[in-house]
Amino acid sequence: MRHQIDSGQTGDKVAFPDPAAAPLGADDEAAGAAPSAAQIAEARRLETRQTGEAVGLARGASMRESTGPASRSRLAFMLMGAGVALVSLAALALLIG
């Protein structure tokens, strides 16, 4: 599973080595209870889901391709700006009136 994580086949990171302080499962193994085959299979299933921005980047997509259209970001920024303006105007109206 470590190779799958480092090669970007998991859903939460891009293809790049990920040195860990302790390998996966080290705590369990040190305690004398290595993970079962079912636990390893479940961890692999959860780690290799094909969702999220990191998967797009790991598959070679550009940042723009993996995050969707720029208009979505622009719209969110404009809505936040309008909200801040409305709150500011309301506060000013309360101070004046």
The model's pLDDT over 26-60, given as tens digits with 9 standing for 90+, comes to 777 777 777 788 888 887 777 766 555 555 555 55
- Expressed as residue numbers, the domain containing 89 is 69-97
- If asked whether residues 28 and 56 sit together in one domain, one would say yes
Whether 78 and 33 share a structural domain: no
**Token output for 17:** 């080595």
76 in the same domain as 30:
no
The average pLDDT across 58-82 equals 69
Instruction: Spell out the residues 6+ positions from residue 64 whose beta carbon is closer than 8 angstroms to its own.
Output: 70
56 and 77 housed in the same domain: no
Predicted TM-score of the model (pTM): 0.33
Number of domains in the chain: 2
